[in-house]
Amino acid sequence: MWALGLFISTTAGPQLQSHSKPFLIGAEWQDNASQAVKDLFWETGCNFARLTGGGFGWISESHKHALKELDDHGVRVLLQLGSHYPDGKYFDFKDAYFVDQNGKTGIPSKQSWAVEYDGSAWPQYSYASERFKSALESDFTAYFKALGPLTNVEAVMVHNEPGFHWLDKRIFDYNPASIERFRDWLPIQYGNIAALNGAWGSSFPSFSSVEPPHTVPTVQGLAPWMDWRRSNMEVIGDFLDWERVITRKLYPSLPVTTNLSGPIDNWYPFRLGDNYRFSRSMDIASIDIYPGSEWTTRYIPAYSMDMTRGAANGKPVYVAECESYAPEHFPQLSDEQRAARLASDLWTYIGHGANGVLVWTLNGQDGFKLTKGEYNARIRTLRDIAHTSKMLDLGAFAKPARKVAVVIDPASYLMVGAKEGLREWAGRMSRIALCLYGALVDAHIEADVISADMLRHSGVANRYKALVFAGVTTMDRSLAASITAFAHSGGLVVSDSSIATFDERGKACAKQPGFGLDRLFNAKQPLKGKTHLIEPNDKFWAAETGDPDLSVAMANWLKLDAGISPDLNIHGDGIQDTSKLIDPKGNVLQVITCPQNKAEPEKPNQSITVDLPKLTGRTESFLVAPRTTSEDMALTGPILISTPKLTVTNLESHAVVLTARDHPPLIATECRRSWPHDSLVTVEVTVYNPSPRLLEGSLELTEPAGWKRALTTNISLPAFGTKTFTATVTSGRPTLRAVLYAAMFYNGKSIESIPFDVTVR
């Protein structure tokens, strides 16, 4: 194995200034990984890794060693505390166990070192238990002290996937401490016990005697359930707030996050979370995204990202876990198809504003491994994106403000669940949101996904020109007033017809939509803005395939009533997710991906045509994606686009288009993919200078140790100049995988080309 390296050092001309953090990309890291696995990770050029399960004495030495090894290779770390899965000494804290609605707790198991409930070991301990929290604080303090300075820790994840990971049989947490928190919370909501009894239809003599509901919710008995759910969400939120406080006491400047376990965490009727509440005190909002399961659709990667950006409310966003497409879970896909699926997902996360992405896992959990030590197409994909992100300076790019928000309401999921049964409701509610969101995706209009609760806060609605309500069945006066005020100010309001059918306690509204919204939607010309109420049909519920008619209608409403046009003009077959990023200098990055449906095999290559952005001043556009020019030749890096439209006829996973007005240099390479042993091989290296300033420096093509340097030359490129250099190398090994690196020392940074593999026959 050998590497070719290109180095450009600036010797003249003004420096480009960039103060942004680098884009972070990597995988979950196992300290006991084989050397072969570690060598592959170093080869990828990734700069981010996640260490899991921290906080306890048994892991501190392993984490200390891993932090040192990763730091030696320039890798930043997301350090996760294991409060969701503490060690076996916590078995003695029986009064801190979760309690189910039947009064039962789990059974400690030394096989899993967890408290197991019907074979499930997560969660184990009550978020409301002060004894549990006190023990965690002691362990976390000792653990951090053992680690010493966290020089390469980018952020601490204080908890893993907060929420109630029960299956059908378990409902929330009935630990006495949780019930006591509920009783303390109720007076804040009702003021006096008579008001509570009136809402619940109960006869409790005092708040201290209130008992939370235990039986499965019904429509008739929803009021206590709605309150019980909200109380449980506050208990979890307060627990996360507490974890942030104790971490920041030890490391005041270290950012804190928790990874959310999915959009609204709604896979089962009572496994309901509140991602907006859980992210409120975090410095970074993080999410786990696993497309390809039976519960997901092609819109899940983008939807999950936009929901997390909504929860972040302007803060950075990490994808803390995402699908690695291991063969065990995707046997119907070839190695190249799995790599294409991974590339589509990763670029979707990037395009929708992720500041960091971690694949789960590098070599850890069975069924979720990128590698067992072998080089494969998915490792190549991770390597390609890691190098591309550096060359593009992705950390400097950010999402422009969105003009549309899809509004969801976690409380409404419980409402529909009680009405329609244990499992189907979760899918039905997701289909409402995904159909409306998917209609926007298909119209190439980007949107945030926000919580209905956020609209109660002053100014949030004013960020947008249009609000699209998805399954917001419950309503209250303050939320209805916010919606009405938004419409009266000229905003466009779109909703499915389930909006405001119940109040916040589950009582059906006399008029539907209730709370005065019937006047808003039923008026012919009510306001400066417009309103549209959608009646679902069969296609509406088919979120897996989308509803073309709804997409066209949505695009027309947004254009005519809100002045919103597609973010990207794109034409072609199939479904493409489109997203846009910009940097402070006005460079535009357009990301186009081909999201796949569930675990189905890939569809044939798509053909698309893209209109390039029209910016003021001189610009150049590039297609930045690995591609093969013929069966035997490989071209990696940017391709200069000389026409106002880009046509891609073999779009398999993604296309990235950079329109540059002032951007650091780009480097492309072209070489035969394989050659006979001991033959001469020609490598072409093209350097682009897409900026209005002169680029002067030196270019070096460095061969493996013991070989002669193939190319050393000074270069001088004018503004928006291009030059190609040629080097000839001789292969002297029976097998060879060549990785070409191009590094540009420019403003103290290096930019590497996208590597390629060459095989000796």
pLDDT digits (tens, 9 = 90+) for 383-393: 999 989 998 99
User: Which residues on adjacent β-strands are paired with residue 284?
Assistant: 257
Which of 246, 68, 29 shows the shortest CA–CA distance to 142? 246
Dihedral sign for Cα atoms in the order 174, 178, 179, 182: negative
pLDDT range class, residue 265, cuts 50, 70, 90: low
Instruction: Spell out the residues 6+ positions from residue 292 whose beta carbon is closer than 8 angstroms to its own.
Output: 323, 325, 329, 330, 341, 596, 598, 599
pLDDT range class, residue 604, cuts 50, 70, 90: low
Query: 425 pLDDT exceeds 50?
Result: no
If phi over 0 gives left and psi between -120 and 50 gives alpha, with beta otherwise, what is residue 325? Answer: left
What is each CA distance from 472 to 328, 407, 467, 553, in whole angstroms? 38, 8, 12, 21
pLDDT range class, residue 339, cuts 50, 70, 90: very high
Taken in order of first residue, the domains within the chain and their CATH numbers are 1-16+664-761 (2.60.40), 17-396 (3.20.20.80), 404-562 (3.40.50.880), 566-661 (2.60.40)
Give, to the nearest 10 degrees, the angle between helix 424-442 and helix 548-562. 60
Mean pLDDT score of the chain: 85
- The pTM (predicted TM-score) of the whole model is 0.93
Least confident of 81-90, 580-589, 632-641: 632-641
Most confident of 17-21, 92-96, 530-534: 92-96
pLDDT digits (tens, 9 = 90+) for 46-74: 999 999 999 999 999 999 999 999 999 99
Q: State residue 507's pLDDT score.
A: 86
What are the DSSP calls for 378-393, one per residue?
A: HHHHHHHHHHHHHHTT
Least confident of 76-90, 656-670, 706-720: 706-720
Q: State residue 426's pLDDT score.
A: 52
Q: State residue 264's pLDDT score.
A: 64
Instruction: Provide the token pair at 273.
Output: 């979370």
**Quick one: what percent of the chain has pLDDT higher than 90?**
57
pLDDT range class, residue 706, cuts 50, 70, 90: very low
Q: Which amino acid is at 512?
A: Q
Instruction: Provide the token pair at 371.
Output: 């590698």
Q: State residue 167's pLDDT score.
A: 56
- pLDDT (mean) for 148-162: 95
Q: State residue 272's pLDDT score.
A: 65
CA distance 644 to 649: 16
Q: Which residues of 466-486 are buried (b: 16+ CB within 10 A; e: fewer)?
A: bbbbbbbbbbbeebbebbbeb
pLDDT range class, residue 428, cuts 50, 70, 90: low
Q: Which amino acid is at 628?
A: T
Instruction: Spell out the residues 6+ positions from residue 294 whose beta carbon is closer than 8 angstroms to its own.
Output: 598
Main-chain dihedrals φ then ψ at residue 356, nearest 5 degrees: -160, 145
- Cite the DSSP H helix spans in 377-502: 377-391, 410-420, 424-442, 477-488
Q: Are 349 and 319 in contact (CB under 8 A)?
A: yes
